[in-house]
Structure 1
Amino acid sequence: MTNLEARPQEQVCAANPPGGGRPAVELIEPREVPLGGPRAMTVRRTLPTRQRSLVGPFCFLDHYGPDDIAEAGGMDVAPHPHTGLQTVTWLFEGAVLHQDSLGSVRTIRPGQLNLMTAGRGISHSEEGTLARFPHQRTLHGVQLWTALPEGRRHGTGDFEHLAAVPTGETDGVRIQVFLGTLAGVTSPARTYSPALAAQLDLPAGARFDLPVDPAFEHAVLVDRGEVTVADVAVPAAWLGYLAPGRRRLPLRVGHHPARVVVIGGTPFAEQILMWWNFVGRTHDEVVAARAEWQRVVAASDGAGAAVPAAHHEQTRAAIARFGAVPGYDGRPLPAPDLPNVRLRPRERPPG
């Protein structure tokens, strides 16, 4: 999924120092972001925010639905670029067609994982519309990004699809692990920093102490139900953050079943600069990536296939970096305008 904000702001992301008198659970309120167009779906974004930019390597979290796609239009995201990250797509309901510049064509459904590694550059499209899936009525899920460490972010792109993720059950709680290891269940998906992502389905009235790695910081996204995390109520669609040091993550559920997504990882050691769909390290790096993507857009023939201008080395280099998504019926998505100032770090709140 792309960030379709018309005026995306730069985010310099780094792990917060431990301690600092933070509350046991830090509550992060979502903000609504439209994915473009008059009938576009709206997502609820909890990462990044001014309050917090990273949870482990996770630098982006969008939560959407349940949406009636006949009313909301569904997901129709034209080919767009990424650098320096992995996209993690997980659905609760519905289906999304993924196509990318590596030639990957995959429909993802609930219980499956799409994991795309951008490396130095990749492009992809995502469609969850009635045109693609005439019998689909609801779309509901999350997409996350993880920042790639220095040793992997300059590498080639990759795509991995898991048709079924490992699942376990403890005390009536169903645990689907799509990244990392949790409660003795391990996903085979490849990550490049210690990371965890899992869906937990909890019965009404559940009192469950989830065993977790004390070296990890964690966050709990509540999709539905009344849930307290370490005795703090986390509203639906909000994110509850917990600092490293815990061996147990207490979850308590109200009178109705609940569903949550737990993410985590060791605090990411590298400072990153995010702007639009690019994760880099410096202003100049992000500006150069945008310029190359705009060359791909300019060279498009209108059907999603990029055509290099004769003897145009810069255009050929840009297309070699980001590629094309020929299976999408439409033009690539242009990048927003850069601000008229140098991209620079945002101040993080104390602690």
Structure 2
Amino acid sequence: MTDPVIQTVTPTTHDLGDFQVRRVMPSKARQMVGPFIFVDAFGPAQLDIGKGMDVRPHPHINLATVTWLFEGAIDHRDSLGTFSTIRPGTVNLMTAGRGIVHSERSPQEERAKGPQLYGMQTWLALPDGREEIDPAFEAVADLPVIEDHGAKATVIMGDLWGERAQTATYADTIYAEILLAPDGSIPIAADADERAVILVGGEAQIGGVPLTLFDMAVLAPGEAMTLSSRTGGRVMLLGGEAFASRRHVWWNFVSSDRERIEQAKADWSEGRFDAVPYDDEYIPLPETPKTVSYP
């Protein structure tokens, strides 16, 4: 039998003081899985009273951000005038397209009691011909939930287990949160070009291969397999259509064209992006960003 896991990517951990962020992509080991080009798991964390997440306004181009929370809440504001409080069970999809600016902060009521933070931040590269679409935002709470054999799976994006999420997709995309009870299991279909799983809590195996907490296990293409747990676990499934053309990453910018990224850098430095209403702070363009693509 083919090994169900063809690659394991260990995250780089960034300690932000009050909580940790574990980044598995982009990395030297792996650039993309389907349209996913950036994958962070942040937390779990319990912050002190009065503290919170404060990600000041910053720009994006040629991508869509997907925020999914297990615990806590985040206030999202963007240059379209959107205000949305992200909570567990609702997916926030922000499409940058030709350019958007947003901020992410802990709500005041969360700060008053000491915020919890635990969730996933991922970016999807936009496909050829759609990188410069108009920016957009949506929050989708009515998501399909499948329960069987001690597993509860929420379909965040795409078609899985005979159900389709209402969340917009720009390329073929699958994304789901899977909660496994002790001795629970769920089949993982072979339909997507590329698939990966990330254990974000507890214990689980894929095709009998144990998963390591926060590592990304890239699955063998074309192979149906079973995700299971002896004692209970939480797993993210992600993937979709393999991109034929290269994507470059520099800071918060993704594009098939390096010159487009240089233009975005100049636009941000010179104040040509739209502002976020009611949030007049901003993150300056870094000299050396932590997020880059690799040759």
Same fold (TM over 0.5): yes
> Counterpart in 1 of 2:277?
326
1:181 aligns with 2:144: no
1:272 aligns with 2:247: yes
Q: Shift in Å at residue 51 of structure 1? A: 0.7
Aligned residue for 1:289, secondary structure, equals helix
Aligned equivalents of 2:49 and 2:233: distance in 1?
A: 26
Are the equivalent residues in 2 in contact too, given 1:73–1:129 (CA < 8 A)? no
Select which of 11, 16, 36 maps to 1:30.
Answer: 11
Q: Shift in Å at residue 25 of structure 1? A: 3.7
Q: Tell me the percent identity.
A: 38
Are the equivalent residues in 1 in contact too, given 2:4–2:220 (CA < 8 A)? no
Structure 1's 235 and 130: CA in aligned 2 closer, same or farther, altered over 3 A? farther
Deviation per CA, 1:169-196, whole angstroms, max 9, x where unpaired?
1222111011001111210111110001
Select which of 35, 43, 48 maps to 2:26.
Answer: 48
Larger strand proportion of the pair: 2
Greater shift after overlay, 124-133 or 260-269? 124-133
> Counterpart in 1 of 2:294?
346
Aligned residue for 2:282, secondary structure, equals coil
Are the equivalent residues in 2 in contact too, given 1:41–1:75 (CA < 8 A)? no
- The correspondence of residues 113-152 of structure 1 with structure 2, limited to 5 A, is 113-128=91-106, 133-152=111-130
1:287 aligns with 2:262: yes
Aligned equivalents of 1:43 and 1:345: distance in 2?
A: 18
Deviation per CA, 1:116-171, whole angstroms, max 9, x where unpaired?
00001000000126576423531100010000012211111000111332212122
Q: Structure 1 runs of 4+ off > 6 angstroms?
A: none
> Counterpart in 2 of 1:10?
none
- Which segments of 5 or more consecutive residues in structure 2 lack a partner in the other structure? none
Structure 1's 345 and 218: CA in aligned 2 closer, same or farther, altered over 3 A? closer
Aligned equivalents of 1:250 and 1:174: distance in 2?
A: 14
Q: Shift in Å at residue 31 of structure 1? A: 1.0
Give the letter aligned to residue 24 of structure 1. V
Bigger Cα Rg: 1
Are the equivalent residues in 2 in contact too, given 1:128–1:139 (CA < 8 A)? no
Deviation per CA, 1:30-60, whole angstroms, max 9, x where unpaired?
111245xxx4532000111111110000000
Q: What RMSD in Å do the two structures reach over aligned CA positions?
A: 2.2
Give the letter aligned to residue 286 of structure 2. P
Are the equivalent residues in 1 in contact too, given 2:150–2:182 (CA < 8 A)? no
Structure 1's 132 and 71: CA in aligned 2 closer, same or farther, altered over 3 A? closer
1:240 aligns with 2:240: no
Aligned equivalents of 1:108 and 1:249: distance in 2?
A: 32
Are the equivalent residues in 1 in contact too, given 2:66–2:92 (CA < 8 A)? yes
Aligned residue for 1:286, secondary structure, equals helix
TM-score by length of 1: 0.78
Q: Shift in Å at residue 234 of structure 1? A: 1.2
Are the equivalent residues in 1 in contact too, given 2:203–2:234 (CA < 8 A)? no
Deviation per CA, 1:284-322, whole angstroms, max 9, x where unpaired?
2211111101112xxxxxxxxxxxxxxxxxxxxx2xxx3
Are the equivalent residues in 1 in contact too, given 2:255–2:261 (CA < 8 A)? yes
Aligned equivalents of 2:204 and 2:110: distance in 1?
A: 35
> Counterpart in 2 of 1:103?
81
Are the equivalent residues in 1 in contact too, given 2:174–2:238 (CA < 8 A)? yes
Are the equivalent residues in 2 in contact too, given 1:216–1:266 (CA < 8 A)? yes
Aligned residue for 1:99, secondary structure, equals strand
Select which of 61, 75, 86 maps to 2:53.
Answer: 75
> Counterpart in 2 of 1:194?
172
Structure 1's 164 and 128: CA in aligned 2 closer, same or farther, altered over 3 A? farther
Aligned residue for 1:153, secondary structure, equals coil
Aligned equivalents of 1:259 and 1:332: distance in 2?
A: 35
> Counterpart in 2 of 1:16?
none
Aligned equivalents of 1:27 and 1:264: distance in 2?
A: 15
Are the equivalent residues in 1 in contact too, given 2:72–2:118 (CA < 8 A)? yes
Q: Shift in Å at residue 26 of structure 1? A: 1.7
Aligned equivalents of 2:39 and 2:73: distance in 1?
A: 19
Are the equivalent residues in 1 in contact too, given 2:45–2:118 (CA < 8 A)? yes
> Counterpart in 2 of 1:59?
37
Aligned residue for 1:284, secondary structure, equals helix
- Which segments of 5 or more consecutive residues in structure 1 lack a partner in the other structure? 1-20, 297-317
